[in-house]
Structure 1
Amino acid sequence: MVVDFDSELWLWAARKTESWTFVSLPVEASDEIRDRTEGLRRGFGSVRVKASVGTSHWQTSIFPGGGDGAYVLPIKRAVRQAQKLEVGDVATVSVELIDL
């Protein structure tokens, strides 16, 4: 399953001083991911993914964490710098589930 979407970068409120930056997946896609990964999720409900933003590609996990039930994807500093993104910018993101 691949999910392509645009999302605004935001800081995790509990760790603003450490600049933990995320994007939220669409709620509908998050619901489908939850259905497809029943019994396959890891700690904290995480799901392993391949992620892409612009020319940056990496493997990580998405986590339940959006107040509206959306999964969230961490966008590491190296990706933000390579793609010239800051909090509040909108990124075009691709997420592919790995362990299906």
Structure 2
Amino acid sequence: MTLEFSGNLWFWRGPAPHHFVTVPEQESAELKALSRLVTYGWGMIPVRVTLGETVWPTSLFEKDGRYIVPVRASVRQAEGVGEGDTVSLQLELR
């Protein structure tokens, strides 16, 4: 399964600060329907993400009924994006 969507890059200032993009409601519902088949624990879903020319493996986390995609500093730097930017992502379930 492959999903494509756009979303804003936001910064979480928690104990382990990080940047994320929230998966839209419809795509989150599709992921939730498949989550039991692909999760490796705690509801996390392994994916391969593409942002621009950069591809990396990560896992989606559930937050407030939707999934969030962590975006590494190296990816943000390579693609020249930062907090508040709208980015287009492609997710491929692993």
| Fold conserved between structures, TM > 0.5 | yes
Residue 95 of structure 1, CA deviation: 0.4
More strand by share: 2
Match of residue 79 from structure 2: 83
Residue 39 of structure 1, CA deviation: 4.7
User: May I ask how many residue pairs the two structures share in their alignment?
Assistant: 94
RMSD: 1.4
SS for the counterpart of 2:83 is coil
* Rounded Cα–Cα distance in structure 2 between residues aligned with 1:34 and 1:13: 26
Match of residue 61 from structure 1: 59
Matches within 5 A, 1:40-59: 40-59=38-57
Q: Deviations over 1:47-68 (max 9, x none)?
A: 0001000000011101101x2x
Residue 93 of structure 1, CA deviation: 0.4
Contact 2:35/2:43 (<8 A) preserved: no
Matches within 5 A, 1:1-100: 1-15=1-15, 19-65=17-63, 67=64, 69-98=65-94
Alignment gaps of 5+ in structure 2: none
Runs ≥4 in structure 1, deviation > 4 angstroms?
none
* Rounded Cα–Cα distance in structure 2 between residues aligned with 1:39 and 1:89: 32
TM-score, normalization by structure 2: 0.91
* Rounded Cα–Cα distance in structure 2 between residues aligned with 1:2 and 1:40: 14
Alignment gaps of 5+ in structure 1: none
Identity within the alignment, %: 31
